[in-house]
Amino acid sequence: MELVKAGIRRLYAVRVAKARLAMPGAAIRRLADAAIGRGMLWKPVVYVVLTCVAFIYVKPILYMVTTMVKDASNILDPAVIWVPRSIHLGHLEKAAGMLDYGKSFLISASLAGSVSVLQTFSCAVAGYAFARLDFPFKKFWIAMLLFSFIMPPQVTILPSIMLFKKLGWMDTFLPMVVPALFGHGLKGAMFVIIYRSFYSTLPKELDEAARIDGAGPVRLFFRVMFPVARSASVVVLLFSFVWNWNDFYFPSLYMFTAESVPLSISLARMAGEMAQAQGAGELTVFAEAIKMAASFLIIMPLIGVYLVAQRWFIEGVERTGLVE
């Protein structure tokens, strides 16, 4: 009898030991399944990829900032690449003087601001017409809109220069401001498409309710459609401002002999002057630092605009479907 009891106790002890040995493996498997279900194993991979992509975009800015604050000893020291031993802000003052920064900044701000405001309104009108109104040859004009979107500007630049020269608009802001009044200008077709896509998603009941109240197309646009499209307007306004601020192609063609030019032209002229000086033997170790300082002065206002308006910009991008 005692032998039977001892055998039962040994069998029970063996089973308990096996159960205890199996518990950690089962717990680990359960934890792994839970981690996979929650995405805990996938998130680190996503973060690593996003960090690498972000570094690709941030690296030029870091290099620009670290280069523009180097003095002569840091520039000539091959051991100093990213972190200078001392901070020197004299290059910013030198670059601002060569750019005539105050005057050029006001010109760039006024030009980009006026064009972006005009494009925001005129492209909204055009997008509303394409999305909600019926008019003759509508499909044809939509096809022409898409064609103007994919057609490079170099195709029409020569006739445009000849036209504006006959009108006496060369070396002025009019060749860039007047087309924006009619929904054209830099990336105008794209902004019309953005508004058309946004207005197409709105329910038809808005139009029907407004017509029952006696509102016509003009009143419907100003009282209902344009206020509702605030998210799309923010996207168009910011895109237009940034692109017109950075634009060099059109100002260089329409204002190539003007004295008062935006910052993009001032930067090109400064780079040309420094290249001529280097070609004449006037080499300076500060050339790259001054160029980096000038570039920083140009993009600094855009960074400020984005930091202020990033919440509305991200919301607008999501609502207009640009991320799809």
Q: What is the pLDDT of residue 16?
A: 44
Q: Where are the domains of the chain?
A: 2-76, 90-320
Q: What is the pLDDT of residue 118?
A: 94
Q: What is the pLDDT of residue 120?
A: 94
Q: What is the pLDDT of residue 122?
A: 94
Number of neighbours of residue 209 by Cβ within 10 angstroms: 13
End-to-end CA distance of the chain: 78
Of 235, 234, 213, 237, nearest in space to 224 by CA: 213
Q: What is the pLDDT of residue 113?
A: 94
For residues 298 and 263, is the Cβ–Cβ distance under 8 A? yes
Q: What is the pLDDT of residue 105?
A: 94
Q: What is the pLDDT of residue 275?
A: 83
Low-confidence stretches of the chain (pLDDT beneath 70):
1-41, 280-283, 316-324
Distance between CA atoms of residues 133 and 244, nearest Å: 30
Length reported for the chain = 324
The CATH number, out of the four listed (3.40.50.2000, 3.40.50.2300, 1.10.3720.10, 3.30.70.60), of the domain defined by the range 90-320: 1.10.3720.10
Q: What is the pLDDT of residue 46?
A: 80
Distance between CA atoms of residues 316 and 324, nearest Å: 13
Q: What is the pLDDT of residue 314?
A: 74
